[in-house]
Amino acid sequence: MAARDGKGAAMRDPFTLDATGATLTIRATPKASKTAVTGVVALDGDSTALGLRIAAPPVDGAANEEVVRFVAKQLRVGRSAVTLVAGQSSRIKRLPVEGDPAVLEAALQGLLP
């Protein structure tokens, strides 16, 4: 099920599924009081990202580590199943997650508003 923007129009999900798992796009906001999902945010074109407040500063990779830790915990997969492949120094991050696509899709849908 796609998220809705402020005008009621359907937005694409911030993840894609394939045979090995899922790829999640995140828009991270570091230095929050706690790590939490803020919803789905629109990006350029028709793409979207999962908004995520991060309770870590963007120093020495701390925020990136917190993103990976949080995603692994929320999707109930091992830390090694989540990899940060793009966005090491950007707010927009792309993370492939290895696992059963059906199980991951249900967990990801559970994170969406």
Whole-structure pTM value: 0.84
Q: State the Cα torsion 93-44-104-71 to the nearest 10°.
A: 30
Checking if the pLDDT of 12 tops 90, the result is: no
22-71 residue pLDDT tens: 999 999 999 899 999 999 999 888 889 999 999 988 888 889 999 999 99
Strand partners for 96: 23
- Mean pLDDT (the chain) is 87
Question: pLDDT value at position 10?
Answer: 61
Those residues whose C-beta lies under 8 Å from the C-beta of residue 89, and which sit 6 or more positions away, are none
